[in-house]
Amino acid sequence: MKHTCPHCGKKSFSPLMKARCGGMSSAGKPCPECGVRCVNGKVSLAVNSILRLAAFVMIIITYFIHEPGNYMQIFLFGAVPLIAAFVLGFLFDMFFGKLIEAIKRQ
Residue type, 9: G
Binding mask 1-30 for Zn ion (x = CB under 5 A): ----x-xx----------------------
**Residue with smaller CB distance to Zn ion, 2 or 42:** 2
Name residues whose C-beta falls within 8 Å of residue 89's C-beta, 6 or more positions apart in sequence. 44, 47, 48, 51, 52
Q: Among 21-29, 33-41, 50-58, 83-91, which window interacts with Zn ion (CB under 5 A)?
A: 33-41
Cα radius of gyration (the chain): 17
| Spatial separation of the C-alpha atoms in residues 51 and 37, rounded to whole Å | 25
Q: Does 33 bind Zn ion (CB under 5 A)?
A: yes
Q: Does 34 bind Zn ion (CB under 5 A)?
A: yes
Name residues whose C-beta falls within 8 Å of residue 84's C-beta, 6 or more positions apart in sequence. 51, 55
**Residue with smaller CB distance to Zn ion, 32 or 70:** 32
Give contact residues for Zn ion (rule: CB under 5 A): 5, 7-8, 31, 33-34
